Amino acid sequence: MNKQSNTYTIIYTCVLVVVMGAALAFAAMSLKDKQQDNVDADKMRQILASVHITAPEGEIKSTFDKYIVKQMEINSKGEVISNEAFSIDVAKESKEKDYTKRRLPIYVCELSKGETKYILPIYGAGLWGPIWGYVSINSDGSTIYGAYFAHQGETPGLGAEIDKPKFSDQFKDKSLIKDNQFHAVSVVKKGQKPLNGEDYVDGISGGTITSKGVSDMLNDCLTPYKSFLEILKHE
């Protein structure tokens, strides 16, 4: 075949596209399990961060298995439905406006000194995209032990500051149940206070919309756990 002809060029191009496509597809399939392992490890790292545990690289899963002693799926009545939490898509569940229909995952953590913490995942919307995190609750079912927040694309130096300890550390010891009433912690502009008497933290300066997104996320995602937390408190 004449290598200078249009026919040769077309055939050569088609063969090259097919070969490269097959190679890329093979690579993607070969790396799929590894990619999923990395996604799972990052999720485990974030869950552990809510109870102030940092796992060395390469030891995330073993650290997770050491401290997360139980997983649960509950309903809005606080009843245990299954012993699975990790596979629940919190982003999908958060879109169900009727929270009584949501699948609610809980991670039970036992720290080195024997203290039990309950880790609840949260998911919402910031200014430019999704925001999410994990809130750990003390065994009294009321006070927050720790919190971790992350985002997909909030503004650096402004809304993106939600993933910094300076913001998340404010949540420690805040109460979700006061005077037997459940109130999610509010995020308000510095110097202001919420109207309903709930506990609150200062929002990000210059990140008003992201701060409101965190506040809304906490209310939307923690309220379904109200019955479960009340059960813990009474126990």
* Sequence-separated (6 or more) residues with CB below 8 Å from residue 186: 194, 198, 199, 200, 201, 215, 218, 219
Structure tokens at 2: 């004449």
Closest CA to 222 of 178, 177, 190: 177
Lowest mean per-residue pLDDT among 3-17, 92-106, 135-149: 3-17
pLDDT at residue 65 greater than cutoff 90: yes
What value does the CA radius of gyration of the chain take, rounded to a whole number of Å?
Answer: 23
CA atoms within 13 A of residue 224's CA, in its CB half-sphere? 27
Tens-place pLDDT, residues 66-95: 999 999 999 999 999 999 999 999 999 999
**Torsion from C-alpha of 40, 217, 193, 172, nearest 10 degrees:** -20
**33-44 pLDDT per residue, tens:** 677 889 999 999
Q: What percent of the chain has pLDDT over 90?
A: 75
pTM of the model: 0.85
By the 8 A CB rule, do 109 and 72 touch?
A: no
- pLDDT confidence band for 191 (50 / 70 / 90): confident
Which of residues 191 and 78 earns the better pLDDT score?
A: 78
Instruction: Look at residue 32 and tell me whether its pLDDT is greater than 80.
Output: no
Q: Each residue of 157-172: pLDDT tens digit?
A: 999 999 999 999 999 9
- Return the higher-pLDDT residue of 203 and 17: 203
pLDDT tens-digit series, residues 110-123: 998 899 999 999 99
pLDDT tens per residue, range 10-27? 666 776 677 666 666 665
